[in-house]
């Protein structure tokens, strides 16, 4: 399971904070236990010295000062006395001729109770007061440091989220996105600056390429148009028909190159419409401008499916798939089969020298092939299929290459009469 960098940092700081709490609690407990043990020894010493003094008939003249020497003071609050006596935990008890001496633990403090038939007093140790204050100060400072460090790190990562969003938009084709540049001078800011510089170069390169291609296409349109007009003046009907077909073919190729340029630069928006495959095939046939189409391409429409596609773009994919099959077929023939679950284009030929993924790349052609082309056929077909959420599958059986466009059954229905 993958977690975001923010989540990982939060977990690390949470563990660090938990560890700090455990350490400081342990230190405070150890220090309190040591202090209580020292106080207990002081109470025992105070009791023993007091008993020894009475046995020697030399009792202290002032008990207040005597007990203060051992860090013990009288508890004056009646409420505190009542709470300690009623709820305090007995640490030790010692019965003497002076009375009962009891050490009581109450709220992390040790009290010494002296019970005599004539009086009862309660003494409190001063050594437990504020004993853990340095530890709590250290805990507060450490916690403040951790929190400030966490806030600082998370604040430093905030531009990274904006940068990630901008990069995602740029990768999706939005070339005009403005890359956010953080005000800081850390590594994230440097990455943003470098990416903005790279994006600017890419934008300029794409614009230069688009301007170059569009200029070429625009300049070619003029001689093609003039040639089309001149072809109408040819007297020989056969030559006239051939010339018109040639110029129409050139004009169609220019339009096709323009669409391919938009497709490869990710500037093409799909115009969905419902079309039957038979109509798409007719459009692909017109785009092929192939003489004796029926003799070279056998069509078997077992079920004329209705597809929700971009009519022009999907027709281009079918046209390229048929054209590619004819170019590489040993018998210069192709088969088109349409069924409920997809469209298959087959041709007879030798096995491929490389895996099919190799030929799905741009500008890749079979080595030693005599067919013309730039090696963009399968790349464009696969790209168009992906844009329509279709899959292009390849198989080779019994000497036949088969390319199948698997359409979504939910988007395909049988044509009704």
pLDDT of residue 368: 52
CATH dotted code for 165-268: 1.10.287.130
CA distance 237 to 230: 13
Residue 72: enclosing H or E segment and its boundaries?
strand 72-74
pLDDT of residue 251: 78
Cα 240 from chain centroid?
61
Low-confidence ranges of the chain (pLDDT < 70): 1-2, 127-132, 171-176, 178-185, 209-210, 218, 256, 259-260, 262-268, 362-376, 408-417
Fold entry, domain 272-406: Heat Shock Protein 90 (3.30.565)
Token pair recorded at residue 174: 């939005």
pLDDT of residue 402: 94
50, 66 Cβ separation under 8 angstroms? yes
Strands 334-339 and 272-276: unpaired
- Residue 305: strand pairing partners: 414
Cα–Cα distances in angstroms (integers) from residue 321 to residues 155, 191, 303, 318, 364, in the given order: 52, 43, 19, 5, 15
**316-333 pLDDT, tens digit each:** 899 989 988 998 899 999
pLDDT of residue 393: 92
What residues contact residue 394 under an 8 Å CB cut-off, 6+ apart? 356, 401, 402, 403, 404
366, 352 Cβ separation under 8 angstroms? yes
Q: Which residue intervals of the chain bear CATH 3.30.565.10?
A: 272-406
DSSP codes, 242-265: HHHHHHHHHHHHHHHHHHHHHHHT
Q: Provide the whole-model pTM.
A: 0.49
């Amino acid at each position: 399971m993958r977690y975001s960098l923010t989540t990982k940092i939060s977990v690390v700081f949470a563990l660090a904070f938990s560890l700090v709490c455990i350490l400081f609690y342990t230190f405070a407990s150890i220090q309190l236990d040591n202090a209580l043990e020292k106080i207990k020894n002081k109470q025992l010493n105070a009791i023993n010295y007091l008993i020894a003094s009475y046995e020697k008939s030399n009792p202290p003249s002032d008990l207040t000062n005597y007990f203060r020497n051992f860090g013990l003071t009288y508890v004056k609050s009646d409420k505190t006395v009542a709470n300690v006596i009623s709820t305090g935990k007995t640490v030790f008890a010692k019965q003497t001729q002076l009375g009962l001496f009891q050490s009581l633990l109450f709220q992390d403090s040790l009290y010494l109770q002296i019970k005599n038939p004539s009086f009862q007093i309660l003494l409190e140790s001063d050594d437990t007061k504020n004993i853990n204050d340095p530890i709590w100060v250290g805990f507060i400072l450490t916690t403040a440091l951790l929190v400030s460090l966490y806030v600082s790190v998370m604040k430093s990562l905030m531009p990274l989220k904006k940068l990630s969003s901008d990069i995602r938009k740029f990768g999706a084709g939005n070339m005009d996105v403005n890359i956010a540049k953080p005000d800081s001078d850390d590594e994230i800011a440097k990455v943003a600056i470098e990416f903005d510089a790279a994006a600017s170069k890419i934008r300029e390169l794409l614009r230069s390429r688009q301007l170059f291609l569009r200029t070429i296409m625009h300049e070619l349109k003029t001689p093609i148009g003039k040639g089309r007009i001149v072809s109408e003046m040819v007297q020989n009907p056969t030559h006239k028909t051939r010339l018109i077909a040639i110029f129409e073919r050139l004009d169609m190729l220019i339009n096709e190159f323009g669409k391919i340029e938009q497709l490869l630069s990710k500037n093409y928006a799909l115009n969905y419409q419902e079309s039957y495959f038979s109509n798409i095939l007719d459009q692909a046939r017109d785009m092929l401008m192939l003489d004796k189409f029926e003799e070279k391409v056998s069509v078997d429409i077992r079920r004329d499916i209705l597809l929700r596609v971009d009519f022009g773009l999907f027709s281009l994919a079918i046209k390229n798939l048929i054209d590619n099959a004819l170019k590489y077929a040993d018998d210069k023939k192709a088969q088109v089969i349409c069924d409920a679950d997809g469209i298959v284009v087959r041709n007879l030929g030798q096995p491929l020298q490389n895996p099919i993924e190799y030929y799905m790349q741009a500008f890749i052609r079979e080595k030693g092939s005599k067919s013309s082309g730039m090696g963009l056929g399968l790349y464009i077909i696969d790209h168009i299929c992906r844009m329509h959420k279709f899959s292009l599958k390849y198989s080779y059986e019994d000497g036949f290459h088969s390319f199948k466009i698997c359409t979504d059954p939910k988007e395909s229905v049988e044509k009704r009469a």
